[in-house]
Copies of this chain bind each other. A is one copy, B any other.
Amino acid sequence: MPSPLQSKTAAGRFFEDFRLGETIRHPTPRTLTSGDASLYSALTGARFAPQSAETFARAIGYPASPIDDLLAFHVVFGKTVADVSLNAVANLGYADGRFLRPVFAGDTLSAVSEVIGLKENSNKQSGVVYVRSRGFNQRGETVVDYVRWVMVRKRDPNAPAPEAYVHKLPEAVGAADLGSACPRIDRAAFDAELSGSPHRFEDYSAGERIDHVDGVTVEEAEHQIATRLYQNNAKVHFNQFSEGEGRFGRRLVYGGHVISLARALSFNGLANAFHIAAINGGRHVAPLFAGDTVFAWSEIVETAALPGRDDVGGLRLRTIAAKNRPCADFPGREGDAYEPHVVLELDYWALAPRRP
């Protein structure tokens, strides 16, 4: 029982505190600015053309340079941490993530989560919580919507657990659900010299593998600054005093930062895949620590026309990131067993311009 003197301090929810169907409005809303975009770019290396240049964005049909999709995602995710995963043992996965509206500098994002699944572990020490989280802009429009599931400790192993209910999740977002965050693009105005690649939607085919070549070493200051930029206050990323005595003896890099680094590296080979339209699934296979160097490669899982749109097409990508291991030979998994050094598998849809 917490001391009354400490009752104003948030201890975070434990597994038995979640109720199926409950809705949680998260603090704190956050206005995204060109300063956030600058910092995001400088921390991750993101440099896709529409996000980098107002002129390029306007030329192809955006009203302004959009905020990087993953920056918006991380900010929404960050808000959910204090309520959902402060007592998490592990962030298990993502699914059914859809980007529904573009986000621009000046927009204010807030977040709401709904508990859509609960399943106690057999050891009664913890359970898996499934939440659908939604990010809204200042007009109340949903900008991002995704499911994640985390293993959360129980406060009291003897506390009764709700009946297990696990929401059925789609294996992937369908092509008809892509593109709503992407305005109609003027294909002819998509300048291949400025964007960094001549390759358009039609140039990619299922099964193709692309090594993104470069590696980037992560520093403690970088991932801490990035994680605070997203107002994600999960303890494991910031507190060497306690993590030094923990499982790994070190601070963990926020998994979302790994996703952003892999995405930025993917510019080399996927420079025109300028917009993330959906996250089908994601798995943090192993932890990343400061001092590690991240490499990545991607496979084109499938390509899909978007119903009613001849301007952009969907590339379903499986991106693998590995640490301290170049990816020229495409390290992955055999069934469920990942090759050593793999840290991330991300299955997502990106949009690329079609041929004019």
Q: Which of B28, B35, B228, B291 contacts A196 (CB 8 A)?
A: B28
Q: Which of B47, B56, B108, B251 contacts A54 (CB 8 A)?
A: B108
Given A47-B28, A221-B222, also A210-B5 (CB < 8 A): yes
Q: Which of B5, B36, B221 contacts A209 (CB 8 A)?
A: B5
State A269–B224 Cα separation when bound (angstroms).
22
Kindly list chain B residues whose C-beta atoms are within 8 Å of the C-beta of A324: 241
Count of this chain's copies in the oligomeric assembly: 3
Contact indicator per residue, chain A 189-200, by CB within 8 Å of chain B (1) or not (0) = 000011111010
A214 nearest CB across to chain B (Å): 6
State A224–B42 Cα separation when bound (angstroms).
8
Given A28-B49, A56-B29, A293-B239, also A39-B44 (CB < 8 A): no
Is A208's CB within 8 Å of the partner chain B? yes
Is A41's CB within 8 Å of the partner chain B? yes
State A220–B28 Cα separation when bound (angstroms).
28
A23 nearest CB across to chain B (Å): 11
Kindly list chain B residues whose C-beta atoms are within 8 Å of the C-beta of A34: 33-35
Given A210-B8, A213-B9, A217-B240, also A231-B41 (CB < 8 A): yes
Q: Which of chain A's residues 10-61 have a Cβ closer than 8 Å to chain B?
A: 10-11, 25-31, 33-39, 41-45, 47-49, 52-56
Kindly list chain B residues whose C-beta atoms are within 8 Å of the C-beta of A220: 217, 219, 221
Asked whether, in the complex, the Cβ of A27 is within 8 Å of the Cβ of B194, the reply is: yes
State A229–B44 Cα separation when bound (angstroms).
9
State A269–B4 Cα separation when bound (angstroms).
12
A17 nearest CB across to chain B (Å): 16
A258 nearest CB across to chain B (Å): 15
- Interface residues in chain A, defined as those with a beta carbon under 8 Å from any beta carbon in chain B: 5-6, 8-11, 25-31, 33-39, 41-45, 47-49, 52-56, 65, 82, 106, 108, 110, 138, 193-197, 199, 203-204, 208-217, 219-222, 224-226, 228-229, 231, 233, 235, 238-242, 251, 268-271, 291, 293, 295, 324, 326
Interchain residue pairs with CB less than 8 A apart (15): A9-B212, A28-B195, A28-B196, A29-B53, A30-B47, A35-B37, A43-B228, A47-B233, A52-B231, A54-B108, A215-B238, A215-B241, A217-B224, A219-B221, A242-B326
5 cross-chain pairs, A with B, having the tightest CB-CB distances, nearest first: A35-B38, A27-B196, A35-B35, A29-B53, A241-B293
